[in-house]
């Protein structure tokens, strides 16, 4: 008996196409029984707190092993396991007679309920909280926590949702694609899959019907999972997969549209290790070199010589190529005792970025001096930019200091609406601008990008954000000066084409995203990119803008 082909749909992440066998993630541990404890309160409390502490340590260790964005996510989850309110709730349940495992279950369930009620991004985090609870309970009960199935042959992993602790350490030679029943484009599964370059489809409700061992086709570009594919359909998918892989592998030169229009494809780096990854991914240079790693967790700013050594090591990886250095961007979520102000009620709107550096100008001058000295000892084409520029006057002051210390390419970041709307005047002074779409989106909507309750507004596809980017693009064209993108938006292959249509001349992203973006932009001419941009600009909201542009990609 032949079962007819059917389609399961979700939200695609990436452009990959994979044929493979399904392996289901085991279900979570069963709910602990509501039996009264036959141990003492102190014994139960020790069991709970020890398991919570060990789980937090394990999450942090996994983060260190994985690095990058996964480390940040796992560190945040470790903090959840040590939350003082949660610990107090666990203790309260134990004092009322609960076992350690039941107390942990109840406390985490209450925490998750609050997060779900908040909706949006915060609700998606509730699933991560459930995974932490499972890991704690497994330690208390001395059983293995559910995890990624072990296999020596490649498979497609299907789960209700995949915990960051599991996603961070996936073996990409074995796990070829991810499918989740829950989650959305801002879930940690989607974020980490995008960073790692792994094809994924999230929020595929009907994926609950998939069974272990069945062969499916996962097409991240269309968000479709094909069940019971015919032999002909499988052969067709394998050929298409090979074609896409060949396109990615072959697209190792400069970023080019179908008509030969050049768009530099650069990498975001924050350390020497990530610089190596950028070179391996055939980046044309660096569009954002974050220098915070030298300053964070220090009580004083590093010396000029210490900074020079670190900058030189990175610059030497890109001989003859552009490296755009962002001077120290501290404040808000990155406070520094020697630079930023304590006790600001809203530090995201306070003295951060260039404002903090101007308030401690010697730190800025020392950093720029170190960059200038490192530039002189390498062949990299070093450009320097300031974060959080809001006015023309700030631009003038920064560029003047750069000129004083011998830096010849001085630009600014466009991260707030005021600098986007003043781009014409700013580019009369600055040599270039680079748009940070993460912060530009945050400030356009007055919605803290670190606050889960307003995460539904954090979407660079919003026509409001796109219109600001167009203003900057037009200013770049009028002044004949470069306009780059160094935010997360650059890593979305569809949005990358739209951004080019808005006047962007370079795109900087995670090294793993370069191949997909390079391959995708080569399919469109500049005229077509501008047409896509106009469609997105005419939309009422981010969802419609994405749908209108994506339709053109698949038809």
Nearest Cα neighbor of 156 from 172, 140, 144, 141 is 172
Cα separations in angstroms, 82 against 66, 365, 484, 500: 21, 40, 40, 45
Based on the residue annotation, tell me whether 282 is a catalytic residue of this protein: no
Looking at the DSSP bridge assignments, the partners of residue 507 are: 265, 485
Identify the burial level of 472 via C-beta atoms within 10 angstroms of its C-beta, where 0-12 means exposed, 13-18 middle and 19 or more buried.
buried
Give the Cα separation of 382 and 316 in Å (integer): 11
Give the Cα separation of 49 and 55 in Å (integer): 10
Give the Cα separation of 503 and 548 in Å (integer): 19
Q: Is the dihedral of CA 193, 197, 198, 204 positive or negative?
A: positive
Give the Cα separation of 515 and 129 in Å (integer): 33
Cα separations in angstroms, 355 against 385, 388, 429: 14, 8, 18
Tokens read off for 296: 């964070």
Host H or E run for residue 177: strand 175-180
Return the residue matching tokens 């996510």. Answer: 73
Q: Which of 188, 360, 373, 402 is catalytic?
A: 188
According to DSSP, the β-strands at 224-227 and 264-269 are unpaired
> What's the residue count for the chain?
555
Tokens read off for 1: 């008996």
Q: Which of 45, 373, 402, 486 is catalytic?
A: 486
Give the Cα separation of 488 and 465 in Å (integer): 13
Give the Cα separation of 46 and 177 in Å (integer): 40
Based on the residue annotation, tell me whether 402 is a catalytic residue of this protein: no
Q: Does residue 16 contact residue 199 with C-beta atoms inside 8 Å?
A: yes
Which residues does the annotation mark as catalytic?
188, 486
């Amino acid at each position: 008996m032949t079962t007819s082909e059917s389609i399961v749909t979700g939200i695609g992440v990436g452009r990959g196409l994979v044929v493979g066998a399904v392996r289901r993630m085991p279900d979570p541990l069963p709910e602990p029984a509501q039996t009264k404890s036959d141990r003492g309160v102190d014994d139960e409390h020790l069991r709970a707190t020890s398991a919570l502490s060990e789980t937090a340590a394990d999450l942090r260790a996994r983060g260190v092993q994985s690095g990058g964005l996964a480390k940040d996510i796992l560190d945040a989850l470790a903090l959840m396991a040590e939350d003082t309110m949660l610990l107090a709730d666990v203790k309260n349940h134990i004092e009322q007679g609960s076992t350690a495992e039941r107390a942990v279950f109840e406390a985490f369930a209450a925490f998750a309920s609050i997060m779900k009620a908040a909706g949006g991004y915060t609700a998606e985090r509730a699933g991560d909280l459930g995974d932490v609870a499972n890991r704690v309970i497994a330690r208390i009960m001395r059983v293995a926590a559910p995890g990624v199935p072990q296999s020596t042959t490649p498979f497609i992993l299907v789960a209700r949702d995949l915990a960051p602790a599991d996603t961070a350490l996936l073996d990409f030679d074995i796990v070829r694609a991810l499918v989740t029943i829950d989650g959305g484009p801002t879930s940690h599964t989607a974020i980490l899959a995008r960073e790692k370059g792994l094809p994924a489809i999230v929020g595929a409700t009907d994926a609950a019907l998939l069974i272990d061992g069945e062969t499916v086709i996962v097409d991240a570009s269309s968000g479709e999972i094909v069940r019971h594919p015919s032999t002909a359909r499988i052969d067709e998918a394998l050929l298409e997969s090979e074609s896409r892989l060949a396109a990615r592998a072959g697209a190792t030169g400069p970023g080019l549209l179908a008509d030969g229009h050049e768009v530099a494809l650069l990498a975001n780096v924050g350390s020497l290790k990530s610089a190596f990854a950028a070179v391996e991914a055939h980046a044309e240079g660096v569009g954002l070199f974050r220098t915070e790693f030298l300053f964070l967790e220090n009580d004083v700013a590093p010396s000029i010589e210490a900074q020079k050594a670190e900058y030189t090591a990175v610059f030497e990886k890109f001989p003859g190529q552009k490296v755009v250095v962002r001077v120290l961007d501290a404040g808000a979520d990155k406070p520094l005792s020697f630079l930023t102000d304590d006790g600001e009620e809203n530090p995201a709107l306070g003295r951060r970025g260039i404002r903090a550096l101007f308030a401690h100008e010697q730190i800025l001058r020392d950093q720029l001096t170190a960059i200038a000295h490192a530039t002189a000892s390498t062949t990299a084409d070093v450009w320097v930019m300031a974060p959080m520029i809001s006015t023309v006057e700030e631009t003038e002051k920064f560029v003047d200091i750069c000129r004083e210390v011998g830096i010849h390419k001085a630009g600014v970041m466009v991260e707030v609406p005021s600098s986007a709307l003043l781009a014409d005047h700013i580019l009369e002074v600055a040599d270039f601008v680079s748009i940070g779409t993460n912060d530009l989106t945050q400030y356009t909507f007055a919605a803290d990008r670190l606050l889960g309750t307003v995460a539904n507004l954090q979407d660079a596809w919003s026509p409001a954000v796109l219109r600001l980017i167009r203003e900057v693009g037009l200013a770049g064209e009028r002044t004949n000066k470069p306009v780059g993108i160094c935010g997360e938006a650059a890593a979305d292959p569809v949005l990358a084409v739209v951004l080019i249509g808005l006047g962007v001349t370079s795109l900087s992203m995670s090294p793993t995203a370069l191949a997909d973006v390079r391959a995708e932009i080569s399919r469109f001419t500049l005229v077509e990119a501008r047409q896509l941009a106009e469609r997105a600009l005419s939309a009422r909201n981010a969802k419609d803008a994405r749908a209108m542009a994506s339709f053109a990609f698949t038809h």
